[in-house]
């Protein structure tokens, strides 16, 4: 038996399990055979969506499937402490951004409209639920996390703010942070004391307009800057999650 290198984690759903086995027929099966080059008897790392992690030993390879015998004796990932609210980016960047956020570990992702969001983005095929789910799964596998985030699309910013965001911010131990280059506080100043839950809001290319910033601050958010550089959306997402990871490590 050998461990097949390459994939960080192969993610499966509880509904796919047949006792202690799972039969894969999609891109995961192709990945095991073509990328990992695993054969019968080889072992890969496996995790159940929002469930335990462990290993899967290849017991059968067919023309259209790979079957694994599972040993799920590892820990179950807790819900990540950070949620992401993201003004809808360009469709070509959306998949990469969702994968990046999921790889860092994110509780949920809310994709929202904003003044500077091109309205054509809202009709993109990349917003289909199955496409977003597939991107999130790829990110979870890359980041070796079993917490698959919920993803929702909101076509009206103020409806989202008043009906979804504001009640979440009102919960004890929750802090909302707006990434905004004109903010006075750095990220590390705003999270000097850790909240139970952080909700990070990242605007579109060009940033939030002042009225949006004022509204979000009025609802209880705090503006933060990531530094002196103006970042594209995909870079800002990676930067904020990386900084939060560092702060948690150094201040825990």
**Domain segments of the chain as ranges:** 10-71, 82-251
Spatial distance between the Cα atoms of 54 and 9, rounded to a whole number of angstroms: 9
Per CATH, domain 82-251 is 3.30.750.24: no
> For residue 146, which of 2, 6, 8 has the smallest C-alpha distance?
8
Write down the pTM of the prediction. 0.93
- CATH 3.30.450.20, domain 10-71, yes or no: no
Buried b (16+ CB within 10 A) or exposed e, 92-105: ebbbbbbbbbbbbb
Q: Are the CB atoms for 61 and 27 separated by under 8 Å?
A: no
Q: pLDDT 10s digit of each residue in the chain, 252 long?
A: 555 555 589 999 999 999 999 999 999 999 999 988 999 999 999 999 999 999 999 999 999 999 999 999 999 999 999 999 999 999 999 999 999 999 999 999 999 999 999 999 999 999 999 999 999 999 999 999 999 999 999 999 999 999 999 999 999 889 999 998 888 888 888 776 666 789 999 999 888 999 999 999 999 999 998 877 777 899 999 999 999 988 888 876
Closest CA to 97 of 233, 244, 245, 247: 233
Q: Over the stretch 213-247, which tens digit does the pLDDT of each residue have?
A: 999 999 999 999 887 777 789 999 999 999 998 88
Task: Convert 206-228 to b/e letters by CB count within 10 Å (16 or more is b).
Answer: ebbeeebbebbeeeebbbbbbee
The residues with which 46 forms a beta bridge, in sequence order, are 10, 54
């Amino acid at each position: 038996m050998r461990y097949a290198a390459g994939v960080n984690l192969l993610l499966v759903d509880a509904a796919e399990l047949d006792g202690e086995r799972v039969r894969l027929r999609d891109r995961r099966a192709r990945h095991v055979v073509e990328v990992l080059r695993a054969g019968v008897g080889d072992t890969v790392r496996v995790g159940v969506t929002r469930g335990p992690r462990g290993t899967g030993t290849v017991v059968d390879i067919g023309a259209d499937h790979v079957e694994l015998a599972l040993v799920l004796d590892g820990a179950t990932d807790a819900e990540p402490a950070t949620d992401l609210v993201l003004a809808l980016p360009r469709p070509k960047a959306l998949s990469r951004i969702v994968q990046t956020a999921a790889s860092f570990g994110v509780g949920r992702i809310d994709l929202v409209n904003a003044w500077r969001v091109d309205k054509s983005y809202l009709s993109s095929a990349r917003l289909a639920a199955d496409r977003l789910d597939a991107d999130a799964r790829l990110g979870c596998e890359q980041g070796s996390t079993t917490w698959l985030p919920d993803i929702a699309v909101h076509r009206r910013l103020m409806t989202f703010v008043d009906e979804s965001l504001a009640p979440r911010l009102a919960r004890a131990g929750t802090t909302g942070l707006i990434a905004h280059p004109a903010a006075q506080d750095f990220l590390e100043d705003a999270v000097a004391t850790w909240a139970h839950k952080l909700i990070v809001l990242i605007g579109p290319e060009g940033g939030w307009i002042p009225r949006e910033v004022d509204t979000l601050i009025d609802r209880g958010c705090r503006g933060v800057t990531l530094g002196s550089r103006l970042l594209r959306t995909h870079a800002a997402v990676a930067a904020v999650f990386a900084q939060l990871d560092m702060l948690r490590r150094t201040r825990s």
